[in-house]
Every structure is written in C-alpha cells, then in structure tokens.
Amino acid sequence: MLTIAVSKGRIYEDALPLLAEAGIIPVDDPKKSRKLILDTTREDVKIVIIRATDVPTFVEYGAADLGIAGKDVLLEHGAESLYEPLDLKIAACRLMTATPKDLTELPRRIRVATKYVKTAQSYFASRGIQAEIIKLYGSMELAPLVGLADCIVDLVDTGNTLKANGLEPRDLITEISSRLIVNKAAMKMKHAEIQALIDNFKQTLASR
C-alpha cells in the first residue's frame, strides 16, 4: 500500500491529471466528502488530504510514503530529512517581497510580516538587512496598510491582490512550484513501487 499526502486546493487540482496518468483517480471528491483518507482506482494507493504545511511532516514521520508540497512549504519546514526527486511543475508562483507603491527604498531596519519566518530571516540576513519578522497566518497585505510592517513576504501569482491593496511586488526570493517528496525509509522498503510512480510522473511531464 502506498499513501500519498496532498493538500486541498490548487495543488490537489493541479496534481489530479498527473495522478490520473498513473492510474490513480480518487473515488471520493474531497469537496463533497468529509473523508480525509481517499480510496483510489488503484487498490494499492490511498490519498491523504491534509493542510499544506503538514504534508512534509506526515511524509518525514512515515504517516505518508509520498507527498506533493509547494517549495515554499519545504523551504520553511526544512527538507533535509526527505527525498525530493521531482519538480512536478504545477501550482507555480513566486515568493516575493512586497511594499507600498510609494516606498522607494527599504530602511536598514525593517519590520516584515509573513508566515514564512525562516525563509524571510535567511533572505534578509543574506543581504545584511536587519529585519524584525512578524508572523501572520493570513491577510498579509493588511500589515503595511495599518503600520504593522514596512514590507511583506508572500506568494505572488497574478499580483492583483497586492495591487488592489496599494502594494507592489518588489524583490524575487525564489520561484515556487510543487515537488514530489518521499519518505526515506519508504524509498528503501517500497522502492520498486515508488520508483515506478516517479518514472510515470517523469514521462507525463516530458510529454507536456
């Protein structure tokens, strides 16, 4: 039995065609079902639906053999204890700083609002900028508007939400896409099954 951890939302939707090419089609629709463990058309594969930030934890501790997680989550979690064999090229966006449009230059000491605390600390430290990191779980765009922060670090796709709130993307920290991650013990114990799935994903991606 293989268990794949995936989060609801964009990553799940973008992963469905890849999974389908490998013959893995969920029997239940997570939008309509309250089930958190989904059976699939392959009797030997189940999908676990969890929060995006929990995917690497489930895989690291062996509660799932594989997972599909955004690179932003992996950077924040620390992926040294996981195999990351494949960039699935889905759910692509950018992790960026953003500031009010009228801010021409960042001060040497700044306050930054973000849920990506470790990544933001590393980024600003590498540039010699003293940053006080304020952890928020949502509504990042609000922080500069009410004086909570000078700058935010967040995912940017179209940039429309930033624009609607008087902000603009500033510096690119890294390009983000979803990656396939594998538990190290599972890779040894279930090598043939997992490698077959990796190869299937590679073929599908190559044909796109």
The CATH classification of domain 2-91+177-206, taken from the options 3.30.2350.10, 3.40.50.300, 3.40.630.10, 3.40.190.10? 3.40.190.10
Confidence bin at 157 (pLDDT 50/70/90): very high
pLDDT in tens, 6-43: 998 999 999 999 999 999 999 988 778 888 999 999 99
pLDDT in tens, 47-76: 999 999 999 999 999 999 999 999 999 999
- What is the CA 26 to chain-centroid distance, rounded? 21
Q: At a CB cut-off of 8 Å and minimum separation 6, what does 95 contact?
A: 72, 75, 116, 119, 153, 154, 155, 156, 172, 173, 174, 175, 176
pLDDT in tens, 104-140: 777 778 999 999 999 999 999 999 999 999 999 989 9
Yes or no: domain 93-175 corresponds to CATH 3.40.190.10: yes
DSSP-derived letter for residue 40 is B
For the chain, residues classed under CATH 3.40.190.10 are 2-91+177-206, 93-175
- Residue 79 pLDDT greater than 80, yes or no: no
d(CA 73, CA 36) in angstroms, rounded, equals: 20
